Amino acid sequence: MASIQVEFFGVARSRTNVAAVTLDVDLLRDVIVLLQEQFPPLIQLCIEEGQLAPGWLLNINGATFTRDLSTELNDGDRVLLIPADAGG
């Protein structure tokens, strides 16, 4: 099991009232399951029926954008939960 950090941005951060949380998980799917358990305000916003809602992306270590919940995570990974229309 990997100890990872999930960071929230935009409306997800305002709904959870936290900037980040540390989770022990194996896959991105585990991240979604734990987030919906720990942060019910994320349900229907960015999590729908145990899946990532349309318009939301996960980013791993600032390098890889994905919606593939079968992605394996490594100890120390940083996962960003961001709206797909976030830009810079």
User: Is residue 49 domain-resident?
Assistant: yes
**Under 8 Å between Cβ of 70 and 26:** no
User: Is residue 22 domain-resident?
Assistant: yes
Candidates 85, 71, 82; CA nearest to 4 is 71
User: Is residue 25 domain-resident?
Assistant: yes
pTM: 0.91
pLDDT band at 85 (very low <50, low <70, confident <90, very high): confident
pLDDT at residue number 84: 80
Other C-beta atoms closer than 10 Å to the C-beta of 73 total 22
What is the identity of the amino acid at 1?
M
- pLDDT tens digits, one per residue of 19-74: 999 999 999 999 999 999 999 999 989 999 989 999 999 999 999 999 999 999 99
Q: Which domain holds residue 8?
A: 2-83
Phi, psi of 29, rounded to the nearest 5 degrees = -60, -40
